[in-house]
Every structure is written in structure tokens, then in C-alpha cells.
Structure 1
Amino acid sequence: MAGQRPCASFRFDLVASLLSAWFAAGLFLDSWAHNNIPELETFFTPWHAVFYSGFVASAGWLCWPALGRLLAGERGAAVAPVGYGASLVAAPAFAVAGVADFAWHEVFGIEQGLSILFSPTHLVLVITMGVIVTGPVRSRWDRPEGGWRELPLLLSWAFASLLALLFLQYGNALAWSPAAVVAVLSHPSEAPGADDGAVRFLTGVVVTTVVLLSALLLLARRGRVPVGAALLLFAVAALLSGAVTGFGSWVWTVAVLVCGVLVEGLVWWLRPGVGGLRGWLLFGAAVPLVWWSVLMGVTVVSAGLPSVVEYWTGAPVVASAVGLLLAAVVGARPVARVS
């Protein structure tokens, strides 16, 4: 019917999410390069090629059906499938930001370390990329089909969580190694204003908890959390955290994957989203308690006992309290679909 927005097919959503994987792989590579290649001095790199070619492929897939509907006489929102209107707007904005990023590098040079996360052009790129890759999430939010047909939504949801964790990597406690954790948790808090490693790591525990648990709670508000969602989320987090540190600590990376398996068990047991308020709140408290207890245990076994016992024993409890508060604030009532 003319003027009526079509719903995207499963095939369209799946291809869009797989192209987003290409897009995200380029971001992984670029993040690794900026953090691990100090002599990086050019915009024209293999990882930028993967990143921007992923964008071209994703944008082309989004624009093709829209072009067909334009040629058929449709105008306005009707040219885009449900859920993809925002992605079509974000695609040209991303292209403009990419050109601006090239100009920025020509004038100010190539960023290294923390500065890459605050570059205005990088921020616009990541925001518009987030809108592009979440098209399948918006498309399928009100169409829970269960099983493998949830794959497009789950992939896009995981990549969006990756973007949030990437641009908060200065607060990503998963990007530490066990040896570094033991080192910073073996010294009492220093004077205000000092470079206090314990404060940075423990603050990162809170930030990482909020990012990953928010992603799980958002998905749970849609209804039953699909099997494999938690493991996918933690696998992406482990891959990202390993990439930004040059995969210097395989023990930590494996431990994060194990946490994903344990959280899968908590999803099955507590059934957040369909198991009532008690299960919802217990899920919010239990997930960070379990995963940070495992990571602190791995730290102690692999790198030694931090001398300030209150830090490493209290960190999982603080994370659990933050998770309980977050679950209480978010609530278990279903949310309306984002248009």
C-alpha cells in the first residue's frame, strides 16, 4: 500500500547485522592500532580500509530498497523499512564525519591513547555508527520469534554494546590484566588529585557493570532473553578488551568468557523479564556479583594476593549493589518500541 512503511524481512535484517559485523571488525582493528602502534602517522591504513568499506557495504544495503521505493514514487518515512529510518539519516551523517575526521587528522595529527575517545569527529562517527548498526534491533524489537531467528537483533544489540564499552574504555575494568589489578589493589588510596590506580580500576568496575548489565536488562525488558545472548555479549566484551591491550592477558580474556557462561546460567535460572520482580532484582544483583567474584578469583590465583584485602573482596559487593540499584531504576515493565 502506498505510503505505508514495509517491515524488513528476516533476510534483510540478517544481512544488515552481518554487514555490521564487518563494520565492527574495522572498529576493533582501528582501536587496536591506535592503542598499540605509537608510530601511527597516517589516515590511510588497512584498518581504516576495513572500517570504511564496512560502512559502504552497510550503507549500500540500507539505501538500495529505499532507492527503489523513491523511484516508485514513495516519499518521506515510507521509503525506509520499519526501524531503518534513523539508520538512513545516520548514514550520510557518518560519511560527512568521515571526511571531517580526515581533515582533523591532517590538521592535528593522529590521536593516541585516551585522546582518540574525545576527538569530536570520532564521537560523531561512533554515534552515527551506533544508529546504523542498530537498525535490526529497532526492526525486530516488537517481533520476538525465538530461536535462531533472533540472531539479527542479537548481533546488532551486541555491537551497540561494544560501541558503548569502546568509547568508555578509560572506565573499562575488563581491559586490565591480573598483574596490573594486583599492583594497583596493593596500595592504600593516595592523596586526592594523585594518579590513584586503585580508584581508576574500582571506578572502572562500576562503569563496566553499568554498561554490560544495562545491555542485558534492556534486552530482558523485551521479554525472555534469548539463549546465547549473555555469552555473545561477554564474548564481544572480551574481544574488545583484549584488542585495546594487544591481547596481553589471555587468562583475563578466557575468564571473561567463562563469566559469560555463568551469566547464561543466571538468565536461565532467574528468567529476568518474565520471572517477576523478585527474579528481576535478584538478577540485577547476582550477575555483577558472580562475574566480578570470578575475575577477582582469577586475579588472585594467577597473579597473587592484593595486599589491601578490602579492595578485592569488596569490589564484587559494590558491583552487586550497583546492579541491584540499576535493576530497580530500570524496572521490569516492558518498554515501548523505539521508532
Structure 2
Amino acid sequence: MALANAGIKRLLADSGESRGWVSLRTDLVTALLGVWFGIGLMIDAWAHRNLAELETFFTPWHAAFYSGFAAVSGWIIWQVWRNVRAGRQGLAAVPQGYLAGLVAVPAFAAFGMADMAWHTLLGIEQSLDILFSPSHLGLITTMLLIITTPLRSAWNAPDIGARPSLGRLLPAIIGLAFAATLVSLFLSYGDAMQWGPQSVVEAFSSLQDPAGDRLATVMVVTNVVLLAPVLLLMRRWRLPFGSVTVMYAVAVLMPGAQTGFKNVPILLAIVVAGVANDLLIRWLRPSGGRRQAYWAFAGLSGFVTWSLYIGFASATGGGLPAVPELWTGAPIVAGLVGLVLGALFLPNAVDTEEA
């Protein structure tokens, strides 16, 4: 026992070397295993929403989810263990950007055990309560730390620069995009991407229908969830073309899974909005060092995205809504919210190399 304790203390004692970075290939594997983890959660979310007979913790859907956790956490631990075998100890063995993910691994496992106990004692949630379960909130928080590991790894990597290629930035984009889907899942009651085209048209066709109030509210919430990650990346890098398209294509997967992909026109509108945002970036060239262009993008992004949302809904849901103030004003509100976000994220221009 004394020898074991001595071995653990020796392993945890920092050997003093500066922490290094992993390769792009390693980050890409981390991101792809995070995709497995995220897709597993989407499958589980679909099952909770669409299968009324769920009565146990031990389901194929949980197997897909937790196997993804095992894969990505095993890979993160392996990166540390490789450094330990090379003679590093303590923090010196943990690659840059991987510490939070490493700490989150045992925390996620603990919340998983708590979730199993919760389901065993209190049953399986299938409605709004699933989004407020303490064990689920713990799982989602630690999961977010794990799958954003490639983003933290890339943030100050010495080889990335201020204008990376899409290939170099892809692991960070994938990690952050799937993190945004976790947020959208736990804000499902405020997710405009789950609405169908006809529901959008009907909601904005009556001033007496409370659905109009709700749609206006969820559009604002979803606008923030979609745009905030893009603005974060843009504050650090000059984003290459395709970045927002990738992020928005990932963003539609969670609401698509929850609705059984019954609202494809709405989901397609968001993907097209991603392409439009990439075109805006190419035109405006926003970055942390170009504050006016950054603010302009933030405002125009919200306006363009939600104009496309209403346009696709109208084209496939029975025509323009009957209340013109609602369908013309809602994209303007989104644009103004985007402008406020831009001002909050970048109150003053910064050197992107030091961001």
C-alpha cells in the first residue's frame, strides 16, 4: 500500500517541463470521437422524445451515448499517458487545452452513475422535466468541457496563426458546434428550429394567438445560441469560408433528431443561412481587429438568418403570414440582438494574435 501511494504521489508531482501541444491529427481524432459522443446524445434525445415505452436506464440509446463517452475519454487519457511514459509527470503530462477535458472525464462518470440511480428511483423523464434533471445538467456540463477540448487546444496553438485554413480550424469548429447543440438541447423549449413551416406561418398570422409571442421569443433565444459561438471564433480568428456552414449544419442535427426530421424546410433554411453568413464574412472580413466589420456582421447575420427562416417557412407553409409587422419586424429584432452581441463580444478592437 505504501509503495502504491508513493507511486501515485510520484505520478502527480509535476516534473517541471512546459506543457506541449498535440498534433492537428490528434485534435481531429478528439473532435471525431466527440462527434460519436454528440450523435449518441442526439439518438438518446430522439428516443426520449419519441418512444413512450422507455422504462429503464439500460437502452440501446444510452449505449450509443455512453460508448461515445468511453471512446473520447479513453483517447484523452491516452494522450496524457503517452507523455507519462515519456517521463513527464503531473500537469507537465497534460497537453495544452486538454486539462479541462481530462478533469471532466471522472466527473461525467460520476454524474452518469447518479443518472442511473435517478432513473432507477424516479423513472425515465420524457417531457420538459428531462431538461431540468440535476444529473442531466451535470452530464451536459461535463460533456461540454470534453467535446470542446479541440477548441481549447487550437486557441493558442503556435502553428495556427490569425488566418487559419478550414482544415486547420476544423477540429475546433466541430467541437464548438457540437457544444452549441448541447445548449440548444437544454433550451429546447426556446428552440425555433423545432417549429414546422405551417406553425411559423400560423403563429405570425394572428395577434390574438399566444403562439406568435412564443415564436418571437424562441427566435431571439435561438439567434443567440447560433450566433454567439460564431462571434467567439471570429474574435480570435479570421474565419475561413465554410466555417459557419459547418457550424449551422451541425446545429440542425439536434432539433432534427428531436422532431424526427419532420421540419426539413426550417432546418434547410438554417443551413442556407450558414452559407449566407460565410458570404458575409468574405465580404466584410470581420475580425477582432476590425471592430466595425465585426459589429456589421453580427447585426446582418441575425437579420439574414431569420429572413431566410421566415422565407423558407412561407414558401413551404402556405404563404406569407397575415401580420406584416411580425414577419418583417422579427428579422430586424434578430439583427439588433446580433448587434448587441457583437458589441458585448468585442467592445474594443483587439490584436487577434493576442486574443
- Same-fold call, TM cutoff 0.5: yes
2:226 aligned with 1:212, yes or no? yes
Of 296, 304, 313, the residue aligned with 1:282 is 296
Of 289, 306, 311, the residue aligned with 2:321 is 306
Q: Is 1:189–1:199's contact at 8 Å kept on the other side of the alignment?
A: no
- Higher mean displacement: 212-221 or 38-47: 38-47
* Local SS of the residue matching 2:231: helix
Give the Cα separation in 2 of the matches to 1:200 and 1:334: 40
2:63 aligned with 1:49, yes or no? yes
Number of equivalenced pairs: 333
Give the Cα separation in 2 of the matches to 1:60 and 1:335: 33
Output one character per residue of 1:205-240: Cα deviation in whole Å (capped at 9) or x when no partner. Answer: 111111111111100011201221100111012222
Counterpart mapping for 1:249-268 below 5 A? 249-268=263-282
Aligned to 1:193: none
2:336 aligned with 1:321, yes or no? yes
Give the % identical residues: 47
Q: Is 1:141–1:337's contact at 8 Å kept on the other side of the alignment?
A: no
Q: Post-superposition shift, 1:163?
A: 1.3
Aligned to 2:177: 158
Aligned to 1:14: 28
Q: Post-superposition shift, 1:45?
A: 1.6
**TM-score, normalization: structure 2?**
0.89
Q: Post-superposition shift, 1:67?
A: 2.7
Q: Post-superposition shift, 1:333?
A: 2.7
Give the Cα separation in 2 of the matches to 1:336 and 1:105: 47
Give the Cα separation in 2 of the matches to 1:314 and 1:31: 33
Distance 1:239 1:334, change over 3 A: farther
2:350 aligned with 1:333, yes or no? yes
Aligned to 2:79: 65
Distance 1:102 1:335, change over 3 A: farther
Q: Which runs of 5+ in 2 are unaligned?
A: 1-14
Q: Post-superposition shift, 1:4?
A: 2.3
- Higher mean displacement: 301-310 or 51-60: 301-310
Q: Post-superposition shift, 1:106?
A: 0.7
Give the Cα separation in 2 of the matches to 1:251 and 1:134: 29
Give the Cα separation in 2 of the matches to 1:39 and 1:186: 37
Q: Post-superposition shift, 1:337?
A: 8.1
Of 167, 176, 186, the residue aligned with 2:186 is 167
Give the Cα separation in 1 of the matches to 2:135 and 2:246: 29
- CA RMSD, aligned part only? 1.9
Q: Post-superposition shift, 1:336?
A: 9.2
Q: Is 2:22–2:96's contact at 8 Å kept on the other side of the alignment?
A: yes
Counterpart mapping for 1:173-188 below 5 A? 173-188=192-207
- Higher mean displacement: 137-146 or 276-285: 137-146
Output one character per residue of 1:248-307: Cα deviation in whole Å (capped at 9) or x when no partner. Answer: 122222222211111111111111216722211110110010111111112222213322
Q: Which runs of 5+ in 1 are unaligned?
A: 191-195
Q: Is 2:44–2:61's contact at 8 Å kept on the other side of the alignment?
A: yes
Q: Post-superposition shift, 1:169?
A: 1.5
Based on CA coordinates, which of the two structures has the bigger radius of gyration?
Answer: 2
2:117 aligned with 1:100, yes or no? no
* Local SS of the residue matching 2:252: helix
Give the Cα separation in 1 of the matches to 2:291 and 2:299: 12
Distance 1:65 1:295, change over 3 A: closer
Aligned to 1:5: 19
Aligned to 1:123: 137
Matched AA of 1:130: L
Q: Post-superposition shift, 1:138?
A: 0.6
Q: Post-superposition shift, 1:184?
A: 2.0
Give the Cα separation in 2 of the matches to 1:142 and 1:182: 45
Q: Is 2:34–2:147's contact at 8 Å kept on the other side of the alignment?
A: yes
